Amino acid sequence: MNPEYLPSAALARRIAWFAVGLAATALLLTAGLSVFSHPVGWVSWVLPLIIMVSAGMTALNVWHSHPRVARGLTLITLGVALIVIVTEVTQIAHR
C-alpha cells in the first residue's frame, strides 16, 4: 500500500477523541434521563463506557506505550460487549 494514502496517527487520535466526546455526551444524557425517573437499562450505562475505554486507548496512544494494558482492556471491553449483545438478543427473542 502506498504510504501517502495511509491516515496519519494524528487523524486517528482526533477521531478517537471525537468518539470519547460523543460517548461522554451519551453518558450525560443517560444520567439526565435517570435523574428524571425515566427507566434506563444497564446497557445505556455500559455501552458509552466501552466506547470511551476503546477510543481512549487510541487517543492516548496506549497501544504503543503500554501494549499489555491495551490487550487487557481490549479483552475486558470485548467481553462486556459480548455480554451486552447476548443479553439484548435474549430479551428480543423472549418478546
Contacts of 16 (CB under 8 A, 6+ apart): 55, 56, 58, 59
Domain that holds residue 16: 7-93
Q: Domain for residue 15, yes or no?
A: yes
Contacts of 70 (CB under 8 A, 6+ apart): 57, 62, 63
Model confidence at 43: pLDDT above 90: no
Grid coordinates standing for 11? Answer: 487523524
Model confidence at 87: pLDDT above 80: yes
Helices (H) and strands (E) in the chain, counts: 4, 0
* pLDDT at residue 36 in the model: 85
The 10s digit of each residue's pLDDT in 5-25 is 656 778 888 889 999 999 999
- Return mean pLDDT, the chain: 86
> What's the total number of domains in the chain?
1
Model confidence at 3: pLDDT above 70: no
